[in-house]
Structure 1
Amino acid sequence: MSDIDLKSIYANLEGKDNQLKPKERMTIPQMDMPAQDPVLRSKNQKEVALGYTEEMAIIEASRCLQCKNAPCIKGCPVGINIPGFLDAAAKGNFQESVDIIKEASLLPAICGRVCPQETQCMEFCTVGKTLKDPMKSVAIGRVERYVADLERETNSIKIPAIKESTGNKVAIIGSGPAGLAAAADLRQDGHEVVVFEAFHKPGGVMIYGIPEFRLPKAIVEKEIDTLKEMGVKFEMNFLVGRTRTIADLIEKDNFDAVFIGSGAGLPKFMNIPGENLVGVFSANEYLTRSNLMKAYDKENVDTPIYQSKKVAVLGGGNVAMDAARMALRLGAEEVNVIYRRTRNEMPARVEEIEHAMEEGIKFHFLTNPIRILGDDNARVNAIECLKYELGEPDDSGRRRPLPISGSEFIMEMDTVIPALGNGSNPLIKQTTQDLETTKWGNIVVNENNKSSMDRVYAGGDIVLGAATVILAMGEGRTAAKAITDDLKNR
């Protein structure tokens, strides 16, 4: 989009106060997201996507058809009034816009950056359906990010009103998106809320998992500051199951309810030969060292990180993209993503895949490792892979990868990072006898996110398995409502 085109479109909108006919809105092209140059950004930790200008935000918001049935809301796990906030943004009423978002979500700057809108709200957008491509829908998240960033940058963040104290006390286990969403709603309902976090910083996966170049930590910290100003208390370095059990929180510490939002932090491996070699790291460990412990900041931090030249990242999700792009920024000469299906089946966000490709990361599709090879010092020096072809769809709806006999080949590598998803940490299950879990260790809950234990609720990845930030938030909000309703009836 050239400056001339942008100015022309904006000039055409001025004075119309968003009173456009649907046909006029459909002629407005989607605003591209400005981004750092791929060569420059691959060497730094600064945010890749630079954000919309005011004009771009107004133009993009003006593409919304203001459908009466608002199909986009159906795709939002927390039920944001999307047409409402877009209408306000299109009129330049940015504070009103972000206020509308915050009726359903207190983390708009985060969700605007990392939520997979293309498979949620944008998938249902009438504009995208008309153009037969959800990637051409109204860029809802980009506008959400703009109005949230503007509020933060102008120091106009409003602290939500808190209802009269109920005298009830609720414990939140985990300060990731599910826990923070639950804490916000419960505090607004007038309960005393204490969040217990195992790490030394709150934020969960948003702090230890998602890299700085995709989600700046200062933004997460600012969102959490809002909760603190609301009166939510945070207890760091508190490992539930060791420091205290869930039973302790209820019986000894007198919490009236407990919400478990501890996430899914137990990494999965392929169980192939060589996974115990030096140079093999779970994506969880690799990203935690890089993000939470800032291994990239070598001048100011002493966190050790493996010095890699040729890296193989195994997997096709967002975590795989994060690990691959981080490895590049930590100095790897060559980074390879190995995925046993094709690009079409990759669960990672389209934007993240495109950014990785732009940065020079190599993708090997229809390929999977069958063993990791090491040298005489038990250090990784190669991987043996097998070629695949796609067969019939499996239970996930994606075509099943089938190995091609005799297609083995070897790739030289010195680092291997499996990014194959995560399971639930078994600690809470092991220390909470009455808590029903699945065979994978996920907590079983009902439609209101209540567990098998009285007064205990759960949500997010500990229930769903690895999911998205916004889905986890939706679970936290559902549980918070159920907790308030249940406490009223006690």
Structure 2
Amino acid sequence: MSYIQPEQLAEQARSLLDEYLPKVSSLKVKERQKIPAQEMPTQDPIVRSANMEEVALGYSFEQAQLEAIRCLQCPKQNCIEGCPVKIDIPRFIHHIAQGEMEQAIAVLKETTLLPAVCGRVCPQEKQCQLHCTLGKALKDVDKSVAIGRLERFVADWERINGKTVIPAVKPATGKKVAVVGSGPAGLVVAADCRREGHHVTIFEAFHKLGGVLRYGIPEFRLPNDIIDNEIETLKAMGVEIKTNFVVGRTRKLIDLIEKDGYDAVFVGTGAGLPIFMGIEGENLVGVFSANEYLTRANLMKAFEKRADTPIYPSRKVMVLGGGNVAMDASRMAKRLGAGTVYVVYRRTENEMPARKEEVLHAKEEGVEFLFLQNARRVVGDSQGRVIGVECVRYELGEPDASGRRAPVLIPNSEFVMEVDTVIVAVGNGSNPLISQTTPQLAVNKRGNILVDETQKTSVDKIFAGGDIVLGAATVILAMGEGRRSAEGINRMLAEGE
């Protein structure tokens, strides 16, 4: 697809809006189906691959209103069922179609405190938009109503126009809730428990809040000021925040209850333990986990030329993996100066778990994709530095347990590629610190905390959710876990009263 300037997209939408807006209340289903899906304006690929500014620029007002008019306002509302936090999607979109932005953001804030985040990074095409009646009628999920982009638009409109809605807080209950970890699950728990009038304290190991939102997602996809703005809402609600506080080291988890008097604790410490492939050479200088690589760039500002923690200089980079983290790492490597960046994936593009949009953006920015290949060993020089990777080729066999066709090794297909940096992006395991220092907490063989249907753990008064329970998952699924956890905590505290 050729690049279209944002101004041109806005003008196209303006022209169509003049046609549809006067008759919006009487539009038939077939008329709405004819309205084209609105393309997301972006930075020019040539320009953006050399900066850290946000790639997707957001809809213009005209684009947002036109996209909202596409919504069929279905009686069954299947899109809500596809949303882990059950946003009233048709209602907030109806307000956008009417030009009522304050009402639209008010609807969103009934169920989510992170609309600007979710609108940017959640895989709506696998959740709410997958169930969109319009997309099903047009037989293409990419032609569903762009729910995520509209959510982002409204949240950005709120911030830009200074219309921030602070959720109401009930009278103080005298109860105290500790939230360990400030990722998406923890932020939701903090907001929902604070709404009920409980005193809430967030304990964060890093010096800034946000968890994986801040250290795992690059600013060109999720700017830090967006995260900061959402956190300011929590502060305005009266949530207490303690940073540089490592629960399990600074303070034992059980001590928060037994010594500090918290009536409930939520654990949302995420899945930050890197998983490697177990191949020869992974200990060489120049091999990184994607988690470390992105943390150095995102949280420690390694992309700044005078950073106190500069990153490893690279000319040729190989990223191993096919998910969104692999896309983030490859695109970050380009911005950090690598001339050549390869993404190596052992299946084909059709089987890649990464979002289509992220794959497209990576290609536009010059990342090269090598499919049906994988690394067998990393090759080093006499000084222990990476100089290449021995790869092997695959072909696809029958579908495996995940439903994707399994890669089958082609015998005698070895070859060596010259690279000086390898980034392993094949997944993360659960953070083990809490389970190691709280032996009475039940976990499974992967280290994920075990919970019941209310998200309560095996230890009384302790709840858990997000990646520490699910394994590495999406932001919105973690938020859904946070919502259930908060419901469980609030119910327990209410019954205790």
Q: Distance in 1 between matches of 2:339 and 2:327?
A: 16
What's the CA shift for 1:18? Answer: 4.2
Q: Is the 8 A contact 1:18 1:62 kept in 2?
A: no
Alignment pair present for 1:426 and 2:432: yes
1:226 aligns to what? Answer: 233
Q: Is the 8 A contact 1:18 1:87 kept in 2?
A: no
Alignment pair present for 1:155 and 2:193: no
Q: 1:423 to 1:18 in 2, by over 3 A?
A: farther
What's the CA shift for 1:389? Answer: 1.1
1:399 aligns to what? Answer: 405
What's the CA shift for 1:14? Answer: 2.5
Unaligned runs of 5+ in 2: none
Cα-to-partner distance string for 1:201-247 (whole Å, 9 max, x where unaligned): 00001110100000000010010000001001111011111011111
Pairing partner for 2:121 from 110, 114, 124: 114
Q: How does 1:442-461 map to 2 (within 5 A)?
A: 442-461=448-467
What's the CA shift for 1:5? Answer: 4.0
Cα-to-partner distance string for 1:122-143 (whole Å, 9 max, x where unaligned): 1000111111111110011111
Q: How does 1:37-436 map to 2 (within 5 A)?
A: 37-299=44-306, 301-436=307-442
What's the CA shift for 1:6? Answer: 2.4
Give the AA of the match of 1:292.
L
Q: Is the 8 A contact 2:185 2:268 kept in 1?
A: yes
Give the AA of the match of 2:401.
D
Q: What is the alpha-carbon root mean square deviation over aligned residues?
A: 1.0
Could you tell me the TM-score, scaled by structure 2's length? 0.97
Q: Distance in 2 between matches of 1:122 and 1:109?
A: 17
SS at match of 1:157: coil
Q: Is the 8 A contact 1:18 1:90 kept in 2?
A: no
Q: Distance in 1 between matches of 2:109 and 2:418?
A: 50
Q: Is the 8 A contact 2:303 2:310 kept in 1?
A: no
Q: Distance in 1 between matches of 2:236 and 2:408?
A: 54
- Percent identical across equivalent pairs? 62
Cα-to-partner distance string for 1:293-323 (whole Å, 9 max, x where unaligned): 1111114x22220000000000011110000
2:491 aligns to what? Answer: 485
What's the CA shift for 1:24? Answer: 1.2
Q: Distance in 2 between matches of 1:154 and 1:22?
A: 33
Q: Is the 8 A contact 1:317 1:348 kept in 2?
A: yes
What's the CA shift for 1:391? Answer: 1.2
What's the CA shift for 1:12? Answer: 1.3
SS at match of 1:489: helix
SS at match of 2:485: helix
Q: Distance in 1 between matches of 2:411 and 2:25?
A: 60
What's the CA shift for 1:19? Answer: 3.9
Give the AA of the match of 1:48.
V
Q: Distance in 2 between matches of 1:27 and 1:125?
A: 16
Unaligned runs of 5+ in 1: none
Q: Is the 8 A contact 1:392 1:400 kept in 2?
A: yes
Give the AA of the match of 2:245.
F
Q: Is the 8 A contact 2:24 2:69 kept in 1?
A: no
Give the AA of the match of 2:470.
L
Q: Is the 8 A contact 2:109 2:165 kept in 1?
A: no
Give the AA of the match of 1:130.
A
Q: Is the 8 A contact 2:14 2:63 kept in 1?
A: no
Q: Distance in 2 between matches of 1:421 and 1:346?
A: 14
Could you tell me the TM-score, scaled by structure 1's length? 0.98
2:478 aligns to what? Answer: 472
